[in-house]
Amino acid sequence: MESRRTPTAPILALAAALLLGGCAAPTATPTAWDGPPPTAAPSGADDVRTETAWNLAVVSAEAAADLKGTRAYTQYDGTTSETPIEQKPASGSTFLLLELVVEKKQAGAPAFSWKDVRVEDGAGGSWSRMANDTFLESFGFPRVKSTDLTFGRNEGFVCFEIPESAAKGALHLVHEGSDGRTRLWLRLGAG
């Protein structure tokens, strides 16, 4: 007598996909900066790097007057409802969203600390990463964790809150660790 076995792994995978499919991730689009485009980089404003144990790269940079989106919720009856969500900076400020890659190049090197990272403008202004930018995930922006990075490749978004006037000029992302300095010109709207 021949017995038939039903493979359980594909059935469980299908059930999990159907169950998780109802848990839709929120979608959002940042409201683009509606001011004039940032000024061009001054002559000699090329990126500056000294040898460090960490490679820092800016994938994209964007100023956002606010973030708006919707969050989808699956009801008990299987229907989906959407709720609008919004995050605004303080009055007179704008969000600066940076998509970064931070990668350790050297074993045994010191940790990459966010206290060593800032955004600078040409007028001498300097701003640190927001203490709590976890809201980025609510808008579909995967973020780089805000604790010290100790190994590997770390990719995602970080957020700075800067004055609207600073977003109109040349900006630089600066990392000054114990082992060197990186200064990258931010090209807003670049991706």
Which residues 6+ apart lie within 8 Å of 151 measured at CB?
A: 104
pLDDT the model gives residue 31: 39
Rounded mean pLDDT for each run of 10 residues along the chain, 191 residues in total: 44 40 40 40 56 87 94 92 94 97 90 94 94 94 94 95 94 89 84 49
Residues 54, 100 contacting (CB under 8 angstroms): no
What CATH code is carried by the domain that includes residue 77? 2.60.40
- The CA distance from 97 to 137, in Å, is 12
Return the residue matching tokens 């594909």: 10
pLDDT the model gives residue 23: 40
Residues spanned by the domain of 102: 25-186
pLDDT the model gives residue 46: 57
- Count of structural domains within the chain: 1
pLDDT the model gives residue 96: 97
The model's pTM is: 0.72
The reply to whether 12 falls in a domain is no
The reply to whether 93 falls in a domain is yes
- The CA distance from 98 to 142, in Å, is 11
The reply to whether 3 falls in a domain is no
pLDDT the model gives residue 16: 41
- The CA distance from 171 to 114, in Å, is 18
pLDDT the model gives residue 51: 64
The reply to whether 50 falls in a domain is yes
The reply to whether 7 falls in a domain is no
The reply to whether 57 falls in a domain is yes
The reply to whether 134 falls in a domain is yes
The reply to whether 9 falls in a domain is no
Give φ, ψ of 47 to 5 degrees: -60, 145
